[in-house]
Amino acid sequence: MGKESALRGTMLTVTRRYAAGIDVGEDGVRLVVMSKRLRANAAVCVEQLAFVPLPSGAVIEGDFIDRAAIVLALREAFTCLPSGGAWRALRCAMGLPAAATITTQVPLARLIDAREPLPAGAGGDPHGVLEPAVLAEAERATGVERAALAVDWSVQTGEDGQAQVSIAATARRHVEARVEAAAEAGVALSAIDGEPAAALRAMRHVGSVELDEDARYMVCWLESTGLHGWLVGARGVENEARYPALEHRSMAEALQDLAGDGLPLDCIYAGGRIELLGHAGLALPVLGKSLGCPALPFEAAPYCNGAAAIVAAHRHSPRFAAAFGLALREVMQ
């Protein structure tokens, strides 16, 4: 039996890729384990969802205050998985909250000499001149010395043909705390990603499965610091909004502005602390009625494929959107 089990685990590793998304929030640790067959257009399958609560004050605005409690919670979350076989090849990504990250976009022309531009759409730095300018911009935006920052950036060409540099920066201590806490729990991280970006990825995946290719829909991610909203169309993300923000007097105004006066929306997806919509007088049925389309909470349930061990409340919890998106990032690599 031992050889049979080992062989089965080896074959699973060959035919499927496994990944985990880890969302460490102020209330607890959420874990999504996902798999996908190694063939084009194969559907993703949620193998496990787990939630382990954290004591109050263990995590505050992205800072790991009680490292010991977080490590214990991570270990407990991973006890739901077998110890060997295919699970040894598990790729793991952990989230970073928006409160701990500064994101900005800067015209490429502001960062390098216009006489030596990067190729349109280039994601790297072939001339070796852009990175110092990016680090300087990150230092200016955050007010933190570049040596104490972890910075990610890419160059993208907008619809107007102008190149923009997208920069994400966080204090290096946030990255180090996550890597070290995971390592203490016996988990090797392959990536760290922003929670809003992960939640957007999760709900765009849902939209790609449930809606037509030319659908126009809204994605909302709510966390303790507020709302992140995106308008998604056939060409990808067409617009985004944040609330609180100086340009919006209310969350309702922010979402109305995001929807715009153009084509009607086909759907709204919401994840995270969606009860905050209700606190703003925009419970999902109200929001859907005001924008003239269905408004649905994110759910992992359609991807659980009958996995009986998954708690029903977890299957339908919109708070798993970020962890789902983190796992999705790694399983699609």
CATH topology of domain 2-98+173-197+303-331: Nucleotidyltransferase; domain 5 (3.30.420)
Q: In the prediction, which pLDDT does 253 show?
A: 96
Q: What CATH number does the domain located at 100-170 have?
A: 3.30.1490
The domains of the chain are located at 2-98+173-197+303-331, 100-170, 203-298
The rounded distance, in Å, linking the Cα atoms of 31 and 48 is 8
Half-sphere exposure of 300 (CA within 13 A, CB side): 35
| Cβ count within 10 A of residue 93 | 25
Q: 3-state class of 156 per DSSP?
A: strand
| Cβ count within 10 A of residue 272 | 26
Q: Which residue has the higher pLDDT, 43 or 220?
A: 220
Given the structure tokens 């190694």, which residue do they identify? 38
Given the structure tokens 């039996």, which residue do they identify? 1
* Global confidence as pTM: 0.86
| Cβ count within 10 A of residue 333 | 10
Tokens of 210: 């449930």
Write the pLDDT tens digit of every residue in 24-67: 999 999 999 999 988 777 899 999 999 999 999 999 988 999 99
Using only C-alpha atoms, what is the Rg of the chain? 21
Helix orientation angle between 251-259 and 284-291, rounded to the nearest 10 degrees: 40
Tokens of 170: 């966080």
Q: Note whether 2-98+173-197+303-331 and 100-170 share their fold.
A: no
Q: Class for domain 203-298, per CATH?
A: alpha beta
Given the structure tokens 């209330």, which residue do they identify? 27
| Mean pLDDT of the residues in the chain | 87
Instruction: Check if the beta carbon of residue 282 is closer than 8 Å to that of residue 222.
Output: no
